[in-house]
Each structure stands twice: as C-alpha cells, then as structure tokens.
Structure 1
Amino acid sequence: MKALIQRARGARVEVAGQVIGAIEQGLLVLVGVEPHDTPASVSKLLHKLLNYRVFSDADGKMNLSLKDIQGGLLLVSQFTLAADTKSGLRPGFSTAAPPALGEQLFDLLVAQAREQHPTVATGQFGADMQVHLVNDGPVTFLLET
C-alpha cells in the first residue's frame, strides 16, 4: 500500500457539492492499494499513520504523532497513487489493485482506524471527489508498506 500523508490544519472532502468527511488539525491521507496488498499491509500502514512523528513538539521538532496530538485522520482512496509512471507520458494502472480488492482493503483500513483512533473521516470509494486541504508546513510524506 502507498499513502501520501499531508499534515493538515484542516481538510475536507466533497462529493456532488456536499461535504462527506472533514477534519481539523491532523493528517489527510491519500491511499493507493496495489495488487499484492493484504490485510497485513493494512495493519502495518495504520500503525505508521497513527504513530509517524510529523507534528511539532514544544521545541519545534517533529517528535509527535497523530495519536500524541489526538488529531483527525481523513482517509481518501486514490487509485492513481499506485499508477506506474516510470515510462512514457501517460500513467499505467496495471500496478493498481482491481477495484474490488482496493475497496475491500480500503474499507478494512477505515474500520481498523475507527477502532483505534477517535477521529476518523473518509472520502467515498470510487467517487469523483474534491479534496480541500490547508497543508501545515507544508509537510508531506510518501509511506509504503
């Protein structure tokens, strides 16, 4: 799995002009599922999302995690993150999981996140979404399992 994490002061997802998920301070996470991903990949990614130290402590150093600050987690499925961009001028999507597997593993990620963290919001799998973000820093990292 791939996750593009962005430290946010606030973020929201809209579908058809309606806000379907929003957070205040926390992480906006764009999630790409690949064909070889499994439930173990989900657990590994979630552990990183909740514990990755990207928030500033009192000294201004990135020493605090999402759990430490009790921030929001906004999970957005994005199959284009798993695209093959190594050659040519058009992305290939054979490296992305089939939709059924992508949805199954994304839904598992959301379910496990809601069991382990108090503030979890999501986009809508497969929908045309508009994602709004106030990136704090900016701070952005690509995590892979």
Structure 2
Amino acid sequence: RATLAEALGMLGSAFVDLGRTEWAQEVLRLGIQWGQDQLEVSADLFRRLGGAYVAEERHGEAIGLFRRALALGAPRSEVLPALARSFLARDRHIAAILCAEDALAAGASQDAVRDVRTKAKEVLGTPWERFRTRVPA
C-alpha cells in the first residue's frame, strides 16, 4: 500500500508540473487514503497536496495541508518555507516571518525564505524590529 501511495504522490506532482492541478489533487487525495497507515508517506502526500493548492493560489487551504504534513513528521526544512510563503500570501505577516525563522533553524536555506522575511519585515516595520531586540529568535 505504501508503494502505491508513493507512486500516486509522484503522479500527483507530475500533474501539478503539467498544470493539471485538479487531477493532481484527486490523485493525491487517493494516495492519502491508500497511505493513511504510513505516517512518512502521508506526510509527503500532504506536503505535495499543499503544493498543488499553492499552484492554484489557494494558500488558505494549503496552510492546513502543510500543517498536517508537519504534524505527521514531514521534514521541517522542506515544509516550513512553503508554509511561510502561504502565510505571507494570506497577509499573515507575523506568522510568515516566525515560520521563516523556524525554517532557518530547521536547516532551510536563506534563499528559501529571503523573500518572505524581506516582505514581512517591510509590512511589520519598526514594531517588529523592537520586538526582535527584546525577544531574540
């Protein structure tokens, strides 16, 4: 079952790459059903499904899927940057910048979160800087 779920995950990602996000979402949901007893596989499928929603600019739904992926044990360095970008797209600037900082702490590259941090800092301005001087990351 896990092998089939992994294969469905790869197929779903291929559909996203082809611009067939509705097909991708259906395939990934099916993969989640097949892999529900395998936490690692399920975590990857939720991450991929979140990415499919991001491709359609449906960041609100992607946030929940990325959070589920994290709860199931998906690699934080892979999921947190995507989650931070979705928070930013929903104008949740504090959540975005804190998530980006967590991503860096988890081993994500600076490049993966640079835009999120820059844009969130621009919006949050001086109050954010004062907060960070009192409460270090």
Q: TM-score, normalised by structure 1?
A: 0.27
Is the radius of gyration larger for structure 1 or structure 2?
2
Q: TM-score, normalised by structure 2?
A: 0.28
**Structure with the greater relative contact order (CA < 8 A, sep ≥ 6): 1 or 2?**
1
